[in-house]
Every structure is written in structure tokens, then in C-alpha cells.
Amino acid sequence: LKCSKPPAAAPTLVVVASRAGRAMGAACTRTAPTSETLARSSPVTVNIYDIGTTGEVHLVNRMLRPLGVGAFHCGVEVFGVEWSYGDWEEGTGVFSCLPRKCEGHTYSESVPMGKTTMSEQQFLRSVKDLESKWLGTEYDLLKRNCCHFCEVVLSELSVDGLPPWVTSLAEAGAAVAAGAEHLNQQRRSIGMVLSNHIAESLCCNCEFSTAGKQQVEIISAFGTVTVHGRNARK
């Protein structure tokens, strides 16, 4: 009885079911999902930490948060692992840890970034490439830190970017530092021009009683500049 043939009407039912399946289109499939297909629904999360473990930064961040700034460490969590970037004396600065367990910082909150279409194998290949580009010795607190690295990773995963309040303090600091460096360069340029001008004026009006090289040292607000002139004449 277990091996009996199906009723005569069964083929008709199969045809009807097949036609119904075609009518529903590509939204329905009988193919079992592969690991790569399942990876397309993999969530991506950014875990945010207060820098350090003393609790002082936590209090400062709570006060600065309404202003849209703060001092944070962050890492990208995907496929069950958290990835970030730090200051290392040698080799790559890219490292991984258990989600929300980064040593040296205090976990604060997590922000969903959406879901990635990248498979885990593709992501690991991408991380391998990033390891050679993000060296630990190139870490910069304002211009190349963990937040900048996380932005690159999120872009690789094709999900949302970091919230502005996570990166605003570093961006403001970088802008101030760039402005200060620009002013310093201008100050040095103006100082050199003035010093050269003064030196030339002094050299043209100097008389020496003995042969030798003329040397003028100018001390101004721009620093000390030593100018070597031409051979002096009697």
C-alpha cells in the first residue's frame, strides 16, 4: 500500500501547481537558499564606546551629546565580529574583537546601519586589502582614526554612514589644526620675507675695515634668522 500509484487525477494537480508557480513570478522559488543568499540579509551595526574606562569621558560625552559632539571609539559589527582600527607600533592597525567587548573603552550604544549584500567571504577579502592600507603607525587622532576606518568599512558594505555626532569632534579638531598650520606657514613666509628684506638693507649700507664674510643675525617675532652676505670689501 505504501508504494501504490497516485490517483489518476494527480498529474492534473501537478500541472496546475506548476502553472501557479510561474504565475507568481520570481518572488517565489523552490531553490534552497545558499550561504551567499543568506548573507544578503546580514545586519551591520556600529558599536560606539566612550574612550577609556575611567568614566570621565562618559560624563563629558553625556554633556556634549546634545551639542552633537563627543569623544568616541567605534567598531563595525558584521557576521558576528567587530572590526576597528587603532594605534599600533608595527604592522596593520586593523583589529577585531567580540561585539561590544573592545578592551580599553567603555561600551555605550549600538546603531543599526542596515543590511549588507556582501557575503562573508567577500568581506574578509576586503578586510585583507584594508589591512595593508591602514597601518598602525599611520594612526592620527584627528585625521585618520577608528571613525574614519569605520566609514570606509561601511562604504565597502554598502550600508549607511556613521551618524554625524560620532565624527564631528574629530572633524572640528582637524579643521582647527589645519587652520593653525596654515597660519603658521603664512607667519613663517612673512617672517622670511621681512628678514631677507632687512638683511639686504643692512648689507648694502655696511662698511667693513677687514676682509671677510659679512653675517647678520636678525632677531624678531618670527624667530632668529642668520643671513650670510657677500665677501666684505675695504
CA 106, 147, 70, 68 dihedral sign is negative
In the predicted model, is pLDDT for residue 21 greater than 90? Answer: no
182 or 186, which is more confident: 186
CA distance 212 to 228: 11
3-state secondary structure the chain: CCCCCCCCCHHHHHHHHHHHHHHHHHHCCCCCCCHHHHHCCEEEEEEEEEEECCCHHHHHHHHHHHHCCCCEEEEEEECCEEEEECCCCCCECEEEECCCCCCCEEEEEEEEEEEECCCHHHHHHHHHHHHHHCEHHHCECCCECHHHHHHHHHHHCCCCCCCHHHHHHHHHHHHHHHHHHHHHHHHHHHHHHHHHHHHHHHHHHCCCCCCEEEEEEEEECCEEEEEEEEEECC
In the predicted model, is pLDDT for residue 6 greater than 80? Answer: no
Question: pLDDT-based confidence at 63, cuts 50/70/90?
Answer: confident
Q: Which of 52, 60, 39, 193 is nearest to 123 (CA)?
A: 39
| Predicted local distance difference test score (pLDDT) of residue 69 | 79
83, three cell numbers: 572590526
| Predicted local distance difference test score (pLDDT) of residue 135 | 97
Percent over 70 (pLDDT), the chain = 55
Torsion of CA 13, 17, 23, 26, to 10 degrees: -160
Contacts of 231 (CB under 8 A, 6+ apart): 211, 212, 213, 214
pLDDT tens digits for range 67-120: 887 889 999 999 999 999 999 999 999 999 999 999 999 999 999 999 999 999
In the predicted model, is pLDDT for residue 27 greater than 50? Answer: no
172 or 63, which is more confident: 63
In the predicted model, is pLDDT for residue 48 greater than 70? Answer: yes
- pTM given for the model: 0.59
| Predicted local distance difference test score (pLDDT) of residue 37 | 52
160, three cell numbers: 549607511
Least confident of 23-32, 67-76, 126-135, 150-159: 23-32
The position carrying cell 565597502 is 156
In the predicted model, is pLDDT for residue 141 greater than 80? Answer: yes
